[in-house]
């Protein structure tokens, strides 16, 4: 599942800023709910990391590392916090790789496509 970013409308994975009270997988589950309206079982181990330049207000950008966690989606909600701000859509990993901009994420998605969407720990 990819969502559009609020600022540019480009396709991205749901993601957010680290929060002290949440683990990486808990944050991934929260962002998936808030940005994409999906709920399910989240893996506790990251399946990869990619880097991107986060555009900040005022035009500056900072480099951010994103840990990606797998989710077994159990529910696709009709209403969610950012419903009116983003589009969400399912893609195969190969299709998603052709739509995102971040080189590391493209590589991660292509690896998923090669393994049928399973990470190497399964």
* pLDDT tens figures, 37-54: 999 999 999 999 999 988
- Report yes or no: 64 and 51 within 8 Å, Cβ to Cβ: yes
Residues contacting residue 17 through CB under 8 Å, at least 6 positions apart: none
Percent of the chain with pLDDT over 90: 81
pTM, to two decimals: 0.88
Domain boundaries, the chain: 2-91
The pLDDT of residue 57: 84
Say which CATH architecture domain 2-91 belongs to: Alpha-Beta Complex (3.90)
* Burial class, 65, CB count within 10 angstroms (exposed 0-12 / middle 13-18 / buried 19+): exposed
């Amino acid at each position: 599942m990819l969502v559009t970013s609020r600022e540019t409308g480009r396709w991205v994975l749901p993601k957010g800023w680290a929060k002290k009270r949440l683990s990486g997988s808990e944050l991934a589950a929260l962002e998936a709910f808030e940005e994409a309206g999906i709920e399910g079982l989240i893996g506790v181990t990251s399946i990869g990391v990619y880097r991107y330049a986060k555009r900040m207000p005022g035009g500056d950008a900072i480099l951010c590392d994103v840990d990606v966690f797998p989710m077994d989606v159990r529910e696709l909600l009709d209403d969610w916090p950012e419903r009116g701000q983003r589009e969400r859509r399912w893609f195969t990993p190969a299709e998603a790789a052709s739509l995102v901009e971040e080189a590391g994420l493209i590589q991660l998605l292509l690896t998923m496509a090669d393994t049928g969407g399973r990470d190497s720990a399964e």
